[in-house]
Chains A and B, each alone.
Chain A
Amino acid sequence: MSTVAFAGIAILTLAAALAAATLQKLMHAALSFAVMFVGISAFFFFLGAEFVGLVQIFVYIGAVAVLIVFTILLTRHDVGKVRGFNWSGVFVAVAVFGGLVWTISKTKSLSIVPQQIKPVTVQRIGELLMTNYVWPLQCVGVLLTAALIGALILVMEEKS
């Protein structure tokens, strides 16, 4: 049962990712990108990390995908003109994939099945964020604020 679910999610994710990387129409690629993130959150749910899956959907589909489609909209006079495909990238990607798979298959300690775990609750994550991880949390807050301001300044109209 769970192997079937795993295969289904893996096929959905990888197919959507491949579509996002290769489709000629930008808008279709961006929407496949969103579908890919649904697949990744399904993986997170499957592995028992519900909270991360929900955050993933919230951040990527609610914010990043909308940002990407907006950028496509704002730069659309260029859409269709930028064609061309760099075939050397394919070779590099395939070579890296081959290397990774070879390494994974050679590592004996990786063919394990997971033990039963208690699902990690939102309360536990909240407690950890406020105790052990409070400094990273503050840093991420500062980083996000800086990114917000930086992005705003970047897209401001240039004064001529």
Chain B
Amino acid sequence: MPTLSMLLVVSAALFCIGLLAALSRRHAIFILIGIEMMLAAANLNFIAFWRFAPQPAPPTGVMVAIFAIAIAAAEAAVGLAMVIAVYRHFRTTNVDQLDQLKG
């Protein structure tokens, strides 16, 4: 069985790949993908800390992960709806070109 620090390194890598996607891509959908990745990395940490806690431990990490998944789903739905609304209005999904406050 691997140690906790190995798991944490994997989730840190996942988080940073998500950060990379959110920071450096210009397409709005990529930014959403990056945010989802970061949330998934956080979930992985919750589950890992729960699994490596001294036993018997209450399944708090599991519960938090379930709620986080539900909230991430809501976030994705609203985010994608916003991408579609922005595309309809400005005819672009490039976030660098969305620099007008006037609609």
Contact (Cβ within 8 A) A43 B83: no
Could you tell me how many residues of chain A have their Cβ less than 8 Å away from some Cβ of chain B? 87
Identify which of A3, A52, A104, A118 contacts B47 (C-beta below 8 A).
A52
Mark out the residues of chain B between 1 and 22 whose CB falls within 8 Å of any chain A CB in the assembled complex: 1-10, 12-22
11 contacting pairs across A/B (C-beta < 8 A): A21-B18, A21-B33, A33-B33, A52-B65, A71-B29, A93-B17, A94-B16, A96-B16, A104-B12, A125-B59, A128-B63
| B53-88 near A? 1/0 per residue, CB < 8 Å | 011110101110111011111111110111111011
Whether A143 contacts B87 in the complex (CB less than 8 A), given A2-B1, A49-B62, A81-B94, comes out as no
- Name the B residues within 8 Å of A70 (CB-CB): 80
- Name the B residues within 8 Å of A116 (CB-CB): 55
Chain B residues at the A interface, C-beta cutoff of 8 Å: 1-10, 12-27, 29-30, 32-34, 36-37, 40, 43-44, 47-48, 50-52, 54-57, 59, 61-63, 65-67, 69-78, 80-85, 87-89, 91-94, 96
Contact (Cβ within 8 A) B92 A117: no
Contact (Cβ within 8 A) B27 A49: no
- Name the B residues within 8 Å of A49 (CB-CB): 47, 50-51, 61-62, 65
Per the bound structure, the CA–CA distance linking A1 and B92 in Å amounts to: 49
Q: How far does the Cβ of B102 sit from chain A's closest Cβ, in whole Å?
A: 16
A30 within 8 Å of B (CB atoms): yes
Q: How far does the Cβ of A70 sit from chain B's closest Cβ, in whole Å?
A: 8
Per the bound structure, the CA–CA distance linking A140 and B69 in Å amounts to: 10
Chain A residues at the B interface, C-beta cutoff of 8 Å: 2-3, 6, 10, 13-14, 17-18, 20-22, 26, 29-30, 33, 36-37, 40, 43-44, 47-49, 51-52, 55-56, 59-60, 63-64, 67-68, 70-72, 74-75, 78, 81-90, 92-94, 96-97, 100-101, 104-105, 107, 110-118, 120, 124-125, 128-129, 133, 136, 140, 143-144, 146-148, 150-152, 154-155, 158
Contact (Cβ within 8 A) B78 A21: no
Residue on B nearest A77 in the bound complex, by CB:
B91
